[in-house]
């Protein structure tokens, strides 16, 4: 199976997932207590009978359910995710405005946590049973059990409010009007705390997985072969154990991408990071359900895209895949 | 066989004792073992599972599991004690002075590295040869071990190679630096018999060409007869006998060796009473089964596991279904019980057309054909008592649990266990005992036909002999028809009245055992018989 | 060695069990220790811990007793953790068992379905569900259950798939046992251990999820919860850190304890797999 077939196959699958999400959104609106038009209008619609009438006409709410579904799906197919009456803007515009900030945050958190997790897990496995292993294992257990929003708040107090090492909230220094490199550095400075706190849980997760995977591979026959060749422990561990151990970790990391987006809602809320997570929180507070559903849809699309990417990486890393499929 | 009597030994093991961890079933994996191998000599260490033979090999290589510790003695390679070396010095010895090949070719190569890179590593580890020379040498090695198209193969990944090819790569890798000693730990156990014959021949040729000493670990006396100059017999970690191949095989001194040798099934089929002509109890006609590997895109791959297979089985008769892995013999065996649903053909039990039955009717008639499984450790539910395991069948067919349990006790005695085993769990029994429980379970339903799927393949040779005797006795007593699926021609020779040879889903030859062994007609049958190791010594 | 000895050999598991017992005790004793509603304003707002003996953990922005909230919150966290885990087991176990035993098309379809739920951002789905169905105990439990079952289904399917081809299950088929009987007497009993371990870890994740939801204001407005308390204090972090600190610590300790105990359970139930390959 060549790359093109693989990609088209995955794209078809991705579109199916998004279709299912659109379907899910539709039924969620119907499952909500009260008038669907009220739900679509959000809080803004409560007072305005004319608006509700308009919405009923637009979404065919007085027509049979199947027709309503058809209208709804047609909207999603043309990327019309609805209109926020609260903010008087199309939902898609709102989300796209915020998307880059979230991509930056989750991307940074993903890279940091995967890199750090793999290194920590590999280290722990190589020193299995010794104190450095215990330290790493304990640390990952602690991070694994820490509520994300709480560690975000606590590190905000400590590193920004008390120690003043990093900015408190926001995406960049307001009013500074930096450009070019200076702006990038400023954003980077603001990014440190949110991305690390978002990544902590995942670092712990990947470290635990990498450690277990390394220990499992270390018992494999080919590792014995490698040692029988007279290779040094460092090379055996890196070239034979780690290279095979990392494969399942990458797969799971890809699957976990969705969780990262969920975590972004909490992180962005705490650090006032202007991404779709923050948008989601604001929509929650304002009961702007159209925006809520739109963010859910777009973040799912983001995860689908991300999964295709990790599958691609996996294909490059594991020669067996091509033969198997 | 090389003349090796006078030379200075390559390896001499002196009073080696290896300690097991505190909670193990015995204190020492290996106790006070002394051995030596001269240049160009092949020493076979033979023993049953748990004898500690593999531990000796790993101790020489410095690759013992962490829990096993050398407690005394010395391992001298050309006079230097390996046990006293530190890890760095030992690294230098591995690969350069001692090469090693392992049992499982399928898992012994790194799945994500190209073949050539894995061979390059050996040179790299010891800082030998310039980069350009490594490639030329790698190709030369792959050619020497008889691999086709070495240039293409060097670029391949392990999964693209067959088991035999992978084992050849392992041999090439182990011999890359022309070590003085090659350790082969059951190197052909996982291979089919024809491949095994080729690999044994290759090893022997290479040994003669390079004068490499070989330490060969095996449980199989056939293989020993094929390859050994000298033999050491290990029992429970103790060396009970050693000597030249001729001495040990023709004139064994120790009781244990005698018992082991006696247990090796002969390739000469014994006289068997003629089967009384009767209506067949099992007849299979035109059985077909195709496995399709589905893929998301593109054409599906098809494997014909059973292709127009037909045979009959009379009361009291044993039919051997013989073939190598992938020949479809197990599929056919399981189709007869409809554990696997055949795609086509007819299976008849007496007058009953088993292949036409619906689900619930099938369930009622299942008791007429029962199965003995291969793996005595996987075939009994670990959470049920032996009594429960045996009585479940009759209970499923309406017998009360109390009656079924009483019957289970009788059956346990029939298969040579004590009746009070009913209250115990499978993990309290040895492999051979579990296999007896498995037989009792099959007999509990008083079937007409037994399908034995590699029923003795997972057992040590002495236990194997006991179970074969048991099966024969029970057959005589109960008049069972047995379909005996096996890859082992020696076992087939001993137990089967007739044999059907399978290759790629087809039966290529059928005949009475004695006639078939004496004068095989089909080329494949001839090749199979010729490949049986130790054929010359253990009867042919 | 028996179950308890193997469990007790893991020191972390014992610590976890001790913490867990303490949390359970607080949850059970909540009505006795603090009979008044934790929502009641009982003192001056923003009182620091230990400033008054009556309020060992201080008071919050509205003068509610933090210690009382913590103890009542324990009830809510544990209850939601346990109930929503049961919900996801109820979805995941049958689904995984059917997929694994039936194989073929049924397996394919069910696994695509599971994969779908695993791909979508689960926390975002939980938020959307709770927000639209209105934040109440029922919708919260349902949402957590619905986003948490896929790992259960995958685990059970994997176990059943491997057990189904195990020879003793084949033997059960050949002796004529019925399919339900095979599933219930031969297969499921052998999958219980990993399910119990996963379940104990899932209670921890469910507690984290519930606290995250109530931190965002999606808790049941009638139930005092740790996540809500952290969220309520977050605007006054600088001058009253304790309002957010203590409930967060409670979540952390409870989840940690569940994980430690889960690992101990794993050691005790799967003695052969435990502790690497040393």
Instruction: Say how far apart CA A197 and CA A160 lie, in whole Å.
Output: 13
pLDDT band at C1; cut points 50, 70, 90: low
The reported pLDDT for the residue numbered B7 is 67
B459 burial level (CB within 10 Å; 0-12, 13-18, 19+): buried
Q: Are B105 and B172 spatial neighbours (Cβ–Cβ below 8 Å)? A: no
Instruction: Say how far apart CA C134 and CA A179 lie, in whole Å.
Output: 44
C120 touching A (Cβ < 8 Å)? yes
The reported pLDDT for the residue numbered B105 is 87
Q: Are A260 and B125 spatial neighbours (Cβ–Cβ below 8 Å)? A: no
List CB contacts (< 8 A) between A145 and chain C. 204, 208, 252, 255-256, 258-259
The reported pLDDT for the residue numbered A180 is 83
The reported pLDDT for the residue numbered C278 is 29
Q: Which residues of B touch A (CB under 8 A)?
A: 61, 63, 87, 91-96, 99-100, 102, 104, 107-113, 121-122, 125-126, 157, 159-160, 170, 173-174, 295-298
A225 touching B (Cβ < 8 Å)? yes
List CB contacts (< 8 A) between B107 and chain A. 220-222
Residues contacting C211, CB < 8 A, separation 6+: A147, A149, C77, C225, C226, C227, C230, C251
Residues contacting C267, CB < 8 A, separation 6+: C6, C7, C9, C10, C13, C274, C275
pLDDT band at B403; cut points 50, 70, 90: very high
Domain of C154, in residue numbers: 3-277
What is the mean predicted confidence (pLDDT) over A47-64? Answer: 76
Instruction: Say how far apart CA B70 and CA C275 lie, in whole Å.
Output: 24
Chain C neighbours (≥3 Cβ pairs under 8 A) are A, B
A231 touching C (Cβ < 8 Å)? no
Q: Tokens 């469910």 correspond to what residue?
A: C206
What is the mean predicted confidence (pLDDT) over B121-145? Answer: 89
Name which of A20, A30, A150 to mutate to probe chain C: the one with the most chain C Cβ atoms within 10 A of its Cβ.
A150
Backbone dihedral angles phi then psi of residue B128, each to the nearest 5 degrees = -105, 150
List CB contacts (< 8 A) between B108 and chain A. 221-222, 224-225
What CATH number is attached to the domain comprising C198? 1.10.3720.10
- pLDDT cut 70: percent of chain B above it: 97
Contact criterion met (CB < 8 Å) for B112 and A247:
yes
Which of A129, A270, A284 has its CB closest to that of C278?
Answer: A129
Q: Is B424 within a domain?
A: yes
List CB contacts (< 8 A) between A325 and chain B. 295-296
Element housing B106 (H / E): none
B411 DSSP 8-state letter: H
Contact criterion met (CB < 8 Å) for A303 and C120:
yes
Q: Are B296 and A6 spatial neighbours (Cβ–Cβ below 8 Å)? A: no
What's the total number of domains in chain C?
Answer: 1
Look at residue B291 and give its three-state secondary structure. strand
What is this structure's pTM? 0.85
What is the residue-wise DSSP string for B498-533? Answer: EEEEEETTEEEEEEEHHHHHHS--SHHHHHHHHHST
Instruction: Say how far apart CA B174 and CA B145 lie, in whole Å.
Output: 11
The tokens describing B471, both together, are 């099966």
Contact criterion met (CB < 8 Å) for A1 and B297:
yes
The tokens describing C148, both together, are 């948490």
B245 DSSP 8-state letter: H
pLDDT digits (tens, 9 = 90+) for B353-382: 998 998 889 999 999 999 999 888 889 998
Produce one character per residue of C129-145: b if its CB has 16 or more CB atoms within 10 Å, e if not: bbbbbebeeebbbbbbb
- pLDDT cut 90: percent of chain C above it: 42
Query: For chain A, what's the residue count?
Result: 325
What CATH number is attached to the domain comprising B460? 3.40.50.300
* Cα A18 to Cα A11, A22, A23, distances in angstroms: 11, 6, 9
List CB contacts (< 8 A) between C218 and chain A. 284
Element housing A237 (H / E): none
Nearest chain A residue to B126, by CA: A230
* Cα C139 to Cα A245, B168, C75, C81, C216, distances in angstroms: 40, 62, 18, 14, 15
Whether pLDDT at B461 is above 90: no
Contact criterion met (CB < 8 Å) for A145 and C204:
yes
The tokens describing A43, both together, are 């809080």
* Cα B455 to Cα A65, A175, B212, B451, C278, distances in angstroms: 62, 81, 38, 9, 34
The reported pLDDT for the residue numbered B296 is 47
Instruction: Say how far apart CA B375 and CA B480 lie, in whole Å.
Output: 22
Instruction: Say how far apart CA B540 and CA B267 lie, in whole Å.
Output: 6
Instruction: Say how far apart CA B204 and CA B40 lie, in whole Å.
Output: 10
Whether pLDDT at C237 is above 90: no
Look at residue C90 and give its three-state secondary structure. helix
A244 touching B (Cβ < 8 Å)? yes
Q: Across chain A, where does the E strand assignment appear?
A: 83-84, 89-90
What's the total number of domains in chain B?
Answer: 1
Instruction: Say how far apart CA B328 and CA B503 lie, in whole Å.
Output: 7
pLDDT digits (tens, 9 = 90+) for B272-312: 777 777 789 999 999 999 987 655 444 567 888 899 999 99
Instruction: Say how far apart CA A254 and CA A201 lie, in whole Å.
Output: 15
Single out the residue of C118, C141, C120 nearest to residue C130, CA to CA.
Answer: C141
Q: Which residues of B touch C (CB under 8 A)?
A: 66-67, 337, 339, 363-364, 366-367, 369-371, 373-375, 378-384, 389, 392-393, 396-397, 438, 441-442, 444-445
Instruction: Say how far apart CA A243 and CA A271 lie, in whole Å.
Output: 37
Element housing A197 (H / E): helix A180-218
Distance in Å, alpha carbon of A255 to nearest chain C alpha carbon: 6
Which C residues 219-238 touch A at CB under 8 Å? 227, 230-231, 234, 237-238
Taking the domains of chain A in order of start, what are their residue ranges? 3-91, 96-317
> Residue B11 forms beta bridges with which residues?
B37, B77
Which C residues 136-175 touch B at CB under 8 Å? 166-168, 170-175
Distance in Å, alpha carbon of B132 to nearest chain C alpha carbon: 40
Single out the residue of C208, C242, C241, C240 nearest to residue C227, CA to CA.
Answer: C208
B128 burial level (CB within 10 Å; 0-12, 13-18, 19+): middle
A219 touching B (Cβ < 8 Å)? no
What is the mean predicted confidence (pLDDT) over B163-184? Answer: 93
Architecture of domain A96-317: Orthogonal Bundle (1.10)
pLDDT band at B122; cut points 50, 70, 90: very high
pLDDT band at A322; cut points 50, 70, 90: low
Q: Are B179 and B99 spatial neighbours (Cβ–Cβ below 8 Å)? A: yes
Name which of A110, A134, A147, A308 to mutate to probe chain C: the one with the most chain C Cβ atoms within 10 A of its Cβ.
A147
Look at residue B279 and give its three-state secondary structure. coil
How many C-beta atoms lie closer than 10 Å to residue B334's C-beta? Answer: 22
pLDDT band at C277; cut points 50, 70, 90: very low
Which of A5, A230, A320 has its CB closest to that of B111?
Answer: A320
A261: left (phi over 0), alpha (psi -120 to 50) or beta: alpha
C62 DSSP 8-state letter: T
Single out the residue of C252, C235, C211, C222 nearest to residue C46, CA to CA.
Answer: C235
A173 touching C (Cβ < 8 Å)? no
pLDDT digits (tens, 9 = 90+) for B420-444: 899 999 988 988 999 999 999 999 9
Single out the residue of B249, B229, B201 nearest to residue B539, CA to CA.
Answer: B249
Instruction: Say how far apart CA C199 and CA A208 lie, in whole Å.
Output: 18
Distance in Å, alpha carbon of B428 to nearest chain A alpha carbon: 27
**Average pLDDT of chain B to the nearest whole number:** 90
A217 touching C (Cβ < 8 Å)? no
pLDDT band at A317; cut points 50, 70, 90: confident
> Residue B35 forms beta bridges with which residues?
B13
Single out the residue of A211, A217, A216, A313 nearest to residue A257, CA to CA.
Answer: A313
A139 touching C (Cβ < 8 Å)? no
Instruction: Say how far apart CA C141 and CA B498 lie, in whole Å.
Output: 66
The tokens describing C102, both together, are 């039936």
pLDDT digits (tens, 9 = 90+) for C167-219: 999 999 999 998 888 988 889 888 888 898 899 999 999 999 999 999 999 98
Which of C119, C131, C278 has its CB closest to that of A304?
Answer: C119
Nearest chain C residue to A287, by CA: C131
List CB contacts (< 8 A) between B397 and chain C. 176
Domain of B351, in residue numbers: 325-480
Which of A1, A235, A243 has its CB closest to that of B298?
Answer: A1
pLDDT digits (tens, 9 = 90+) for A148-186: 999 999 998 888 888 888 888 888 888 778 888 888 889
The tokens describing B137, both together, are 């040498």
C177 touching B (Cβ < 8 Å)? yes
What is the residue-wise DSSP string for B9-54? Answer: PSEEEEEEEEEPPTTSSSSEEEEEEEEEE-TT-EEEEE--TTSSHH
């Amino acid at each position: 199976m060549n790359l093109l077939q693989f990609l088209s196959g995955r794209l078809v699958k991705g579109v199916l997932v998004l279709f299912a999400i659109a379907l899910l959104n539709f039924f969620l609106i119907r499952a909500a207590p009260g008038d669907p038009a009220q739900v679509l209008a959000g809080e803004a619609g409560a007072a305005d009978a004319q608006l509700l009438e308009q919405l009923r006409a637009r979404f065919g709410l007085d027509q049979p359910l199947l027709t309503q579904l058809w209208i709804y799906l047609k909207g999603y197919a043309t990327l019309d995710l609805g209109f926020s009456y609260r903010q008087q803007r199309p939902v898609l515009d709102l989300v796209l405005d915020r998307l880059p900030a979230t991509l930056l945050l989750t991307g940074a958190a993903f890279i940091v946590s995967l890199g750090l997790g793999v290194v920590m897990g590999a280290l722990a496995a190589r020193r299995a049973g010794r104190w450095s292993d215990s330290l790493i294992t304990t640390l990952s257990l602690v991070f694994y059990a820490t509520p994300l929003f709480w560690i975000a708040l606590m590190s905000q107090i400590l590193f920004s409010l008390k120690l003043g090492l990093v900015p408190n909230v926001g995406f960049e220094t307001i009013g500074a009007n930096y450009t070019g490199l200076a702006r990038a550095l400023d954003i980077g400075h603001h990014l440190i705390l949110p991305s690390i706190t978002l990544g902590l849980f995942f670092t712990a997760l990947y470290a635990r997985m990498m450690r277990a995977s390394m220990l499992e591979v270390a018992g494999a026959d080919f590792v014995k072969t490698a040692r029988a060749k007279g290779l040094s422990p460092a090379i055996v561990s890196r070239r034979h154990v780690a290279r095979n151990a990392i494969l399942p970790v990458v797969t799971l990391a890809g699957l976990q991408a969705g969780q990262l987006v969920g975590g972004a809602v909490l992180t962005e809320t705490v650090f006032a990071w202007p991404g779709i997570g923050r948008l989601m929180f604001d929509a929650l507070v304002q009961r702007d359900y159209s925006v809520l559903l739109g963010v859910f849809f777009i973040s799912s699309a983001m995860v689908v895209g991300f999964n295709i990417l990790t599958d691609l990486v996996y294909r490059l890393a594991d020669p067996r895949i091509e033969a198997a499929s | 066989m090389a003349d090796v009597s006078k030379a200075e030994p390559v390896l001499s093991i002196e009073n080696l004792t290896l300690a097991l961890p505190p909670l193990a079933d015995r204190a020492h994996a290996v106790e006070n073992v002394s051995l030596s191998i001269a240049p160009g000599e092949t020493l076979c260490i033979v023993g049953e599972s748990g004898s500690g033979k593999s531990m000796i090999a790993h101790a020489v290589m410095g690759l013992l599991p962490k829990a096993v510790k050398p407690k005394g003695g010395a391992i001298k390679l050309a006079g230097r004690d390996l046990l006293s070396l530190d890890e760095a010095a030992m690294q230098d010895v591995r690969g350069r002075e001692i090469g090693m090949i392992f049992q499982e070719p399928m898992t012994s190569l790194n799945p994500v590295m190209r073949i050539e890179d894995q061979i390059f590593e050996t040179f790299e580890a010891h800082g030998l040869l310039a980069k350009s020379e490594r490639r030329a040498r790698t190709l030369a090695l792959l050619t020497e071990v008889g691999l086709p198209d070495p240039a293409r193969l060097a670029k391949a990944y392990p999964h693209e190679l067959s088991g035999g090819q992978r084992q050849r790569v392992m041999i090439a890798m182990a011999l890359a630096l022309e070590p003085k000693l090659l350790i082969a730990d059951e190197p052909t156990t996982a291979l089919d018999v024809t491949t095994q014959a080729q690999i044994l021949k290759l090893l022997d040729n290479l040994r003669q060409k390079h004068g490499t000493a070989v330490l060969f670990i095996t449980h199989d006396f056939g293989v020993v007869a094929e390859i050994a100059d000298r033999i050491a017999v290990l029992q429970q970690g103790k060396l009970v006998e050693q000597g030249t191949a001729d001495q040990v095989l023709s004139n064994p001194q120790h009781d244990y060796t005698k018992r082991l040798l006696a247990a090796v099934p002969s390739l000469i089929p014994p006289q068997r009473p003629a089967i009384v002509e009767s209506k067949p109890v099992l007849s299979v006609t035109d059985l077909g089964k195709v496995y399709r590997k589905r893929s998301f895109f593109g054409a599906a791959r098809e494997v014909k596991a059973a292709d127009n297979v037909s045979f009959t089985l009379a009361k009291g008769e044993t039919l051997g279904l013989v073939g190598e892995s992938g020949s479809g013999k197990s599929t056919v065996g399981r189709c007869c019980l409809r554990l696997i649903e055949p795609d086509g053909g007819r299976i008849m039990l007496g007058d009953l057309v088993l292949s036409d039955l619906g689900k619930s009717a099938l369930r009622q008639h299942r008791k007429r054909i029962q199965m003995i499984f291969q793996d005595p450790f996987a075939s009994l539910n670990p959470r049920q008592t032996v009594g429960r395991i045996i009585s479940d069948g009759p209970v499923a067919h309406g017998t009360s649990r109390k009656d079924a349990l009483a019957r289970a006790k009788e059956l346990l005695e029939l298969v040579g266990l004590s009746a009070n085993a009913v209250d115990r769990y499978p993990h309290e029994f040895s492999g051979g005992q579990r296999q007896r429980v498995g037989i009792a379970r099959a007999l509990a339903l008083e079937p007409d036909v037994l399908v034995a799927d590699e029923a003795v393949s997972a057992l040590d040779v002495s236990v194997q002999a006991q179970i074969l005797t048991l099966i024969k006795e029970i057959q005589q007593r109960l008049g069972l028809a047995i379909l005996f699926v096996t890859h082992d021609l020696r076992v087939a020779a001993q137990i089967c009245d007739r044999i059907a040879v399978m290759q790629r889903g087809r039966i290529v030859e059928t005949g009475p055992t004695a006639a078939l062994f004496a004068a095989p007609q089909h080329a494949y049958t001839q090749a199979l018989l010729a490949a049986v190791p130790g054929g010359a010594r253990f009867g042919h | 060695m028996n179950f308890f000895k193997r469990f007790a050999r893991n020191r972390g598991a014992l610590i976890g069990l001790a913490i867990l017992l303490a949390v359970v005790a607080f949850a059970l004793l909540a009505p006795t220790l603090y009979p008044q509603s934790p929502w009641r304003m009982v003192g001056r707002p923003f009182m620091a811990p230990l400033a008054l003996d009556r309020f060992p953990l201080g008071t919050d922005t509205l003068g509610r007793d933090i210690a009382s909230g913590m103890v009542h919150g324990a009830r809510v966290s544990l209850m939601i953790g346990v109930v929503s885990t049961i919900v996801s087991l109820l979805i995941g176990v049958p689904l995984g068992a059917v997929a694994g035993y039936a194989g073929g098309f049924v397996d394919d379809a069910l696994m695509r379905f599971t994969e779908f739920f695993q791909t979508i951002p689960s926390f975002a789905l939980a938020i959307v569900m709770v927000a639209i169905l209105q934040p109440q105990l029922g919708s919260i439990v349902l949402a957590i259950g619905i986003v948490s079952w896929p790992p259960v289904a995958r685990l059970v399917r994997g176990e059943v798939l491997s057990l189904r081809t195990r020879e003793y299950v084949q033997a059960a088929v050949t002796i004529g046992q019925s399919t339900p009987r095979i599933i219930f007497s031969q297969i499921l009993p052998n999958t219980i251990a990993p399910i119990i371990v996963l379940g104990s870890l899932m209670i921890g994740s469910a507690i984290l999820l519930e606290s995250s939801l109530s931190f965002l204001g999606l808790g049941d407005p009638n139930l005092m919860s740790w996540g809500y308390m952290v969220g309520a204090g977050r605007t006054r972090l600088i001058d009253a850190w304790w309002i957010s600190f203590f409930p967060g610590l409670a979540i952390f300790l409870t989840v940690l304890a569940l994980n430690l105990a889960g690992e101990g359970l794993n050691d005790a139930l799967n003695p052969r797999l435990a502790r690497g390959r040393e």
